[in-house]
């Protein structure tokens, strides 16, 4: 059973998340041959102030 963990900046709508998990599930089924019912996706919403790239917080960009 694949479990996929995804971290995103907060602010996506439920509709966007719904479309995302549908597409990722379909891609997982197609590439790994698993059933859709066995695919778990965990989405973590992260505040920009808690994410850094290149030594800079995204909230400062």
Nearest to 24 by CA among 44, 16, 13, 47: 16
- Catalytic residue flag (residue 23): no
Going by C-beta distance under 8 Å and a sequence separation of 6 or more, which residues neighbour residue 48? 9, 10, 57, 58, 59, 61
Catalytic residue among 2, 8, 43, 51: 2
Active site amino acids: 2
């Amino acid at each position: 059973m694949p479990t996929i963990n995804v971290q995103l900046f907060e602010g996506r709508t439920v509709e966007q998340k719904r479309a995302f998990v549908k597409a990722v599930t379909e891609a997982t089924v197609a590439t790994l041959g698993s059933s859709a019912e066995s695919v778990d996706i965990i989405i973590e919403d992260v505040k920009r102030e808690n994410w850094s790239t290149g030594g800079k917080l995204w909230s400062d960009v």
